[in-house]
Amino acid sequence: MFAIVALGVVATLAITLSRLNTRLDTQEQANQATLQVSQSIVTVNDRVTKRLKQLDALTGTADKALAETKALAPLLTELQQAVKPVAVAVTAGRAGGELSEAKLSEVESVLTRLRKQTLALVGSAQAFGSQGNELLKIVKSLVDDVAASVEAAKRINKSLPG
């Protein structure tokens, strides 16, 4: 009788262990699936973090480019104000077209500051590709043209009888 009871206990224990083993296998599979999903979430999170850093850097560059571009506006206005009387004098033919050295020096001063501001803009403008490069090209061309005109006016002044 004891053997039958012992056999019943061993059978119950074997069935319980078998069911427990099956449950543990199922739980391990679920854990593996959860681990794989967690790893893909971490990968996506890493990509999102990288993109956010890129966007943050781009936003910083854009802010810097905007500030540097805005800084050009007062210099361009000042250049226009400095060039206007010179242009009027040349077109009106006053004083034989001679321009005062003071006026020319004023224009050169503005050009120098405009060149420095443009140099500060180069890095951030280039980060914006063709539009940034176009802005730099336009400002450089403007500065070069006005500088050439100032040099021509100085040559004219030197050639005039004093």
Quickly state the pLDDT bin for 6 (edges 50, 70, 90).
confident
Mean local confidence (pLDDT), 121-135: 84
Question: pLDDT of 11-70, one tens digit each?
Answer: 898 899 889 889 988 999 989 988 998 999 999 999 999 999 998 988 888 888 888 888
pLDDT score, position 68: 86
The overall average pLDDT reported for the chain is: 85
**Model confidence, pTM:** 0.60
pLDDT score, position 162: 58
- CA quadruple 114, 138, 80, 61: dihedral sign: negative
pLDDT score, position 94: 52
| CA–CA dist 100, 103 (Å, integer) | 5
